[in-house]
Amino acid sequence: MAIRVTKAVIPAAGLGTRFLPATKAMPKEMLPVVDKPAIQYVVEEAVAAGIVDVLMITGRNKATLENHFDRVGELEAALERKGDIDRLKKVTYSSDLAEVHYLRQGDPLGLGHAVLQAKMHVGVQPFAVLLGDDIIDERDHLLQRMLNVQAERNATVIALQEVDSSHAHLYGIATVSPTNESDVVRVNGLVEKPEPGTEPSNLAVIGRYVLQPQVFEVLASTKPGQGGEIQLTDALQVLSADETIAGGVYGVVFKGRRYDTGDRVDYIKAIVELAVEREDIGPELRPWLKRFAEGLD
């Protein structure tokens, strides 16, 4: 019988160098997207898919993250005194979302190394990994679909999205073959950030994974790869090449709305896209944005 996935790991220990100096004293996962830090969207998504236990892998600036998902007595008391119940709800919501645990990565030796830190917490069950700088629109149930595929196939499941070939060198890229389900592919190989023009397909790995616990053994023996970092993609490459280790690797091809907040231009686009759809600020923002766009050459 399939085991229900209840634990998620959110690595948030990267240096966030593309956002310096904003990320000098705070992780990039805490950058606000409209009025919520990016990582809160991600925790909300995990909870909506049935995750109850979240482990955040933190780096040198862990305090802001921990504070965000904790109670803030003074603020709550002040809002209560003012009778500002709407804002009080917003403040307490993030602390009541899920059981959140924290673990330090020490040195940021790469995403694979960050995931490896979760070994003791996760134990021997499949688990989800969500990257805090990729936001999936709440109307698209990508993680839920991935969990279903994991339960059906008892394999590793990654999320793939078609990207323009000019962007392929920024991602892990998969070599795939079809399965009997139109949105699911068998992953036969993976390469991290291929040299421009050498990418084996235009299917890029995006920041959602459902991993088998065997990934920890593979990560423990994965040598630093691209950029001198221990790459999760390299461990997935090993798992994709040998179905006997943990059932192989499958990809769910995602065609929904994804907002990449790890890159400065994409971050701004994400804020605009999400803000214009909001009932509270969209109506004021839309006409201004149209006028502003008309004035651009």
Residues that bind ligand UTP (CB under 6 A): 11-18, 28, 57, 105, 108-111, 113-114, 131-133, 262
Smallest distance from ligand UTP to CB 102, Å: 12
Q: Which is nearer to ligand UTP, 10 or 203 (CB)?
A: 10
Residue number with the smallest Cβ distance to ligand UTP: 14
Quickly count: other Cβ atoms within 10 Å of residue 27's Cβ: 27
Smallest distance from ligand UTP to CB 94, Å: 18
Q: Which residues contact 273 (CB under 8 A, 6 or more apart)?
A: 257, 259
Q: Which is nearer to ligand UTP, 149 or 232 (CB)?
A: 232
Count CA atoms within 13 Å of residue 94 on its CB side.
22
Q: Which is nearer to ligand UTP, 60 or 179 (CB)?
A: 60
Q: Which is nearer to ligand UTP, 50 or 108 (CB)?
A: 108
For 64-92, the DSSP string reads HHHHHTS--HHHHHHHHHHT-HHHHHHHH
Q: Which is nearer to ligand UTP, 133 or 186 (CB)?
A: 133
Helix or strand run (H / E) with residue 124: none
According to DSSP, the residues that pair with 172 across neighbouring strands are 192
Smallest distance from ligand UTP to CB 108, Å: 3
Which of 120, 7, 118, 124 has its CA nearest to residue 58?
118
Q: Which residues contact 34 (CB under 8 A, 6 or more apart)?
A: 271, 274, 275, 278, 281
